[in-house]
Structure 1
Amino acid sequence: MSTLLGCASAAAAAPAPPSPAGPQMAVPVTPPPRGPDGPITAAERDEAIEAIARELTAKYVFPAKANEVVKSIRARHKRGEYDKLTTGHALATTLTDHVNAVLRDAHFNIRFSKETLPPMQGGDTLSPEEQARFEVFSRRMNGGFEKVERLPGNLGYLEVRGFGFPGRGFEAAAAAMAFLQDTDALIIDIRRNGGGDPSVVAYLCSYLFADRVHLNDLYFRPADETHQFWTSPVPGKAYTGREVYVLTSKQTGSAAEEFAYNLQNLRRATIVGEVTWGGANPGEMVRLGAHFSAFVPTGRAISPITKTNWEGVGVQPDIATPPDDALRVAQVKLLEKQLAKVTEPELKAGLEARLRELQPQ
């Protein structure tokens, strides 16, 4: 959900097609253009419009919505509404707005590149050069695991900035959870996590359950198949019998939202912060010509518990608070629970002192 892109490790299950129409949401805000703008020809404009119509028809997870989009943009094209768009960013932004007036899909967007785009690799295959670059980037990002810390009161803290690095992400998760093993409670911070790969989500979730648990399903329209994600054996000990709090913000997106959604529905974590971004439809990048590309959602998440997902609504926090205050609020809640249980005067005094430090000034 990295947009949730990878699912190579998922096991195929019997197809479970989605409902004909997904959840309704406000029209997503089109992301700002990236990179330099440039002029486009009428032929390049026409090629991009027809390409997005073709790709949506073939791949978008909800076919009825795709057909509605195609009728709309072709009608606009015929009326000449795109004729005055002579730069790449203008066309990409306008098309994204027009498509999402119908789709209302948080992941969908069209991008312009002034430089000629390379041919797309088939499937999930990376070229050797791309794989080498990815490995270097993965290690520089420490697999998406930003910080692990033991806070006062023996609270564990883990900040995960991205779930996009299978391999290195698994190694970092195992190291972090080994460090946190003897803490009394755990805070997992995904406030700045935009998503990644569902296999990394499943791996980290696996540390939080003693038994095998069904976490999430992903249905993909092109292959008409569903991939299931379950917890699985991981190195070290499971982090069980202790509370887990998860911090969220509106920047918490895609696979990171799945992480919070899974744990909330399974009653394994308390979510603290604000409502998340609201994107639950995984997909793939497609090439629309020499200078345009699009992220087309080809699938949707299906919770085995709710039978739906967080698209358009986000994950609702159990404790709503501004994201900048979420860590403090989580610490206070956990320390107050500890304080209610302790009898040792010295430990009680230490917890009381820490709670006073955490009070807003």
Structure 2
Amino acid sequence: MTTATHPLRTADIVDETAQLLLDHYVFPEAATQLGALLRRRLADGAYDVQEPAELARLVTTDLQSLNGDPHLRLKHHDGPVPADKGAATLTMMRAKMDASLGGAPRTELLDGNVALLELSPALFPLDWCAETLTAALTLVAPAEALIVDLRANSGGDPDTVAFVCGHLLDERTHLNTMYWRDGDRLEQSWSPAHVPGRRFGGSKPLYVLTSASTFSAAEELSYDLQQLGRAVIVGETTRGGAHPCDGWTVHPHLEATIPMGKAVNPVSGTNWEGTGVRPDVPCDAADALDRAHALARARITPSHEPPAL
């Protein structure tokens, strides 16, 4: 419930969110249109509500009404939001990491010498999770085929995407280019030339599982590997968010998340924004593991099959 401690000063929240759009949104023309829309809706009384969660829902609907950008949100938090820019997201991510073995909660050797590596619920900042990911990726490296499960992954750090790709490729490779509105600049992302631990490498069969919930940096990992011809994507079309964002606290329980850049893949010349990553082998997410396992076993040479009993 809203309390006197944290009154809902709706006009101030909407005005600040509109100004953040003008200052930071990667598409300035859209920012101008959306800022005007928010202020018009405020004047019309559309945001005359009492609860932060309801205001967040209404404003987010309007923010996403122009171009459907799923990273563009007024996000409600049950607990108080830290005042520092981006701190709310990092606080939540840290709690998730501590509860998920560093973002690699499942490694398993399936029948036929096919390894399964689940990366969820996020691709955490690399300085948090490099040790865990190195251990998990080294553990699965000897397998004849690998399935990377991103069905429950909601995104994270592009540097972690590059780190994981480094274990799944044989050499340093251009993965993605980011356009940033700040400074009107381009920033390339490459897989590392050297990785700690053992590489799975760039030649053995690789499958990536996706769902309609796979989002953001997890989509980048899927898309980068797909565009390079390195992995077969199995499952559902992903959510379609290719614009990296940051967050600003506009109320003790509300965070405005504003995309400041956009991804440009060096192979396709575009990205997965709005379309999602389309699987090479479409199927229900619940069936994706069985489907990928069958495909992997079919590609492994018979000499590696266990002898019949």
TM-score, L = length of structure 2: 0.89
1:237 matched to 2:198? The reply is yes
Secondary structure of 2:213 counterpart: coil
8 Å CA contact 1:40, 1:87 repeated in 2 = no
Offset, 1:317: 0.3
Decide whether aligned partners of structure 1 residues 235 and 343 sit closer, same or farther in structure 2, where only a CA change above 3 A counts: closer
The amino acid of 1:46's aligned partner reads: A
Which residue is equivalent to 2:113? Answer: 154
Offset, 1:291: 4.4
**One of 267, 274, 278 as aligned partner of 2:236:** 274
Which residue is equivalent to 1:313? Answer: 275
- Which fold has the larger relative contact order, with Cα–Cα distance below 8 Å and residues 6 or more apart in sequence? 1
Decide whether aligned partners of structure 1 residues 290 and 192 sit closer, same or farther in structure 2, where only a CA change above 3 A counts: closer
Secondary structure of 2:242 counterpart: coil
The amino acid of 1:319's aligned partner reads: V
Secondary structure of 1:330 counterpart: helix
Which residue is equivalent to 1:13? Answer: none
Decide whether aligned partners of structure 1 residues 115 and 212 sit closer, same or farther in structure 2, where only a CA change above 3 A counts: closer
Which residue is equivalent to 1:143? Answer: 102
Secondary structure of 1:227 counterpart: strand
The amino acid of 2:10's aligned partner reads: R
Which residue is equivalent to 1:79? Answer: 44
Which residue is equivalent to 2:66? Answer: 102
The amino acid of 1:210's aligned partner reads: D
In structure 1, distance between residues paired with 2:153 and 2:208 = 12
8 Å CA contact 2:8, 2:51 repeated in 1 = no
Paired residues for 1:70-219 under 5 Å? 70-82=35-47, 84-112=48-76, 117-121=81-85, 138-161=97-120, 162-219=122-179
The amino acid of 1:324's aligned partner reads: A
The amino acid of 2:100's aligned partner reads: M
The amino acid of 1:57's aligned partner reads: L
8 Å CA contact 1:246, 1:270 repeated in 2 = yes
Offset, 1:251: 1.2
Decide whether aligned partners of structure 1 residues 136 and 330 sit closer, same or farther in structure 2, where only a CA change above 3 A counts: closer
Offset, 1:310: 0.6
In structure 2, distance between residues paired with 1:114 and 1:210 = 44
- Give 1 or 2 for the bigger CA radius of gyration: 1
Decide whether aligned partners of structure 1 residues 135 and 79 sit closer, same or farther in structure 2, where only a CA change above 3 A counts: closer
Q: Number of residues paired by the alignment?
A: 305
Which residue is equivalent to 1:295? Answer: 257
In structure 1, distance between residues paired with 2:103 and 2:252 = 32
**One of 22, 28, 42 as aligned partner of 1:63:** 28
Decide whether aligned partners of structure 1 residues 40 and 148 sit closer, same or farther in structure 2, where only a CA change above 3 A counts: same
Offset, 1:245: 0.5
Secondary structure of 1:207 counterpart: helix
8 Å CA contact 2:205, 2:299 repeated in 1 = no
Offset, 1:139: 4.6
TM-score, L = length of structure 1: 0.77
Secondary structure of 2:159 counterpart: helix
Offset, 1:103: 3.5
In structure 1, distance between residues paired with 2:62 and 2:87 = 31
Higher mean C-alpha deviation, range 293-302 or range 266-275:
293-302
Secondary structure of 1:235 counterpart: coil
Percent sequence identity over aligned pairs: 33
Which residue is equivalent to 1:327? Answer: 289
In structure 2, distance between residues paired with 1:134 and 1:257 = 18
Higher mean C-alpha deviation, range 112-121 or range 316-325:
112-121
Higher mean C-alpha deviation, range 141-150 or range 196-205:
141-150
Secondary structure of 2:84 counterpart: coil
In structure 2, distance between residues paired with 1:186 and 1:275 = 20
8 Å CA contact 1:143, 1:165 repeated in 2 = no
1:248 matched to 2:210? The reply is yes
Offset, 1:42: 9.1
The C-alpha deviation readout for 1:218-275, integer Å capped at 9, x for no partner, is 2221232222211111023332321100011011111000000000000000000010
Decide whether aligned partners of structure 1 residues 236 and 87 sit closer, same or farther in structure 2, where only a CA change above 3 A counts: closer
Secondary structure of 2:168 counterpart: coil
Decide whether aligned partners of structure 1 residues 289 and 222 sit closer, same or farther in structure 2, where only a CA change above 3 A counts: farther
The C-alpha deviation readout for 1:156-188, integer Å capped at 9, x for no partner, is 111110201313421122212222222111111
CA RMSD of aligned residues (A): 2.7
Paired residues for 1:18-29 under 5 Å? none
The C-alpha deviation readout for 1:278-319, integer Å capped at 9, x for no partner, is 111111111224443211111111111112111111100000
In structure 2, distance between residues paired with 1:106 and 1:186 = 30
Offset, 1:67: 0.6
Offset, 1:78: 2.8
Which residue is equivalent to 2:12? Answer: 47
Decide whether aligned partners of structure 1 residues 253 and 136 sit closer, same or farther in structure 2, where only a CA change above 3 A counts: closer
